[in-house]
Amino acid sequence: MYEEYELAASDGRRLQVGLLGPRTGTTVVLHHGTPAAASLVRLFESATAAGVLLITISRPGYGASSRQLGRSVAAAVADVDDVLDALGRERYVAVGWSGGGPHALACAALDAPRCAAAWSLASPAPADADIDWMAGMAADNVEEFTLAREGGPAFEEALNAAAATMRATSAADLATLLGPLVGEADRAALAAPRVAEIMASATAQGLAEDAAGWVDDDRELLAPWGFDLARIGVPVEVWYGDQDAMVPPAHGAWLAAHIPGARAVHLPAAGHISLVVDNLARLAAAWAAVDTEN
């Protein structure tokens, strides 16, 4: 059963935390995508059958989590540690989907050995990676990140207008709203039971007040992340699909090539959403197999 709490970060900020699964299970910290919030973890409910306890935190500015102006990707590690300390959990597996991917990699780089392993699922690469960073993205994402790079009021106004639309979007209309961001594989994934419902609900939760979390996510993704991928010494799997119009496969290939010892899981038929939705059992079994006791 999904449970939600509000916990305090060490600097006094409020953190919205979601829990799902057996308390005796392997601790998995899920970093949600952009935009979203803690309740997205409900999409992973089937993973709990493998003996996994899923913990997720609405990033600062999303849902009930206090905003943290000027945050970096690396700043997520302190929030993870504060939440795990409050819940009495020690070692964990970090999992990041989409905009959450860099945050899981931050845990792998900066929080070992407490972070025992990490999964990067359809994660963007750093903005200074030697790839054409926006090549292959659908037009909506190109427009968003172009505005983010320019900054200023036009960027924030655009995301706040988009947030208002997304708050009012029903599960039935989600695929239509996403338009060319989702191809055939992702539309099929959205049609699976409860997927669109959970994603629409989590997005509305994250954007309930405004687009602050979304604005800050884009800013931190385009800025230096605050850690060196070459420092990662724990096992990492980098998953990416060729049908992804949100985070094109070049990003995953680049990450896999630049994280020491990373295992690339390249699924040519997968999109941004189907990459996860169609592989939950496989992912859950892998997470449950990680030794978080030592």
Q: What is the pLDDT of residues 240-265, one digit of tens each?
A: 999 999 999 999 999 999 999 999 99
Tell me whether residue 262 is in a domain: yes
What is the number of domains present in the chain? Answer: 1
Q: What band does 294 get if pLDDT is binned at 50, 70 and 90?
A: low
Rounded Cα gap, residues 269 and 165, in angstroms? 30
Tell me whether residue 33 is in a domain: yes
* Residues 6+ away with beta carbon under 8 Å from 268: 241, 242, 243
SS3 content of the chain, % helix, strand, coil (to 5): 45, 15, 35
Residue pair 115/107 in contact by the 8 Å Cβ criterion: yes
Tell me whether residue 197 is in a domain: yes
pLDDT, one tens digit per residue, over 156-182 is 999 999 999 999 999 999 999 999 999
Tell me whether residue 102 is in a domain: yes
Q: What band does 292 get if pLDDT is binned at 50, 70 and 90?
A: confident
Torsion of CA 225, 227, 230, 234, to 10 degrees: -110
Q: What is the CATH number of the domain that holds 12?
A: 3.40.50.1820
pTM: 0.97
Query: Domain span at residue 220?
Result: 3-288
Rounded Cα gap, residues 92 and 156, in angstroms? 35
pLDDT, residue 210, reads 97
Q: What band does 87 get if pLDDT is binned at 50, 70 and 90?
A: very high
Tell me whether residue 241 is in a domain: yes
Tell me whether residue 294 is in a domain: no
Element (H, E) at 54: strand 52-57
Tell me whether residue 52 is in a domain: yes
Tell me whether residue 293 is in a domain: no
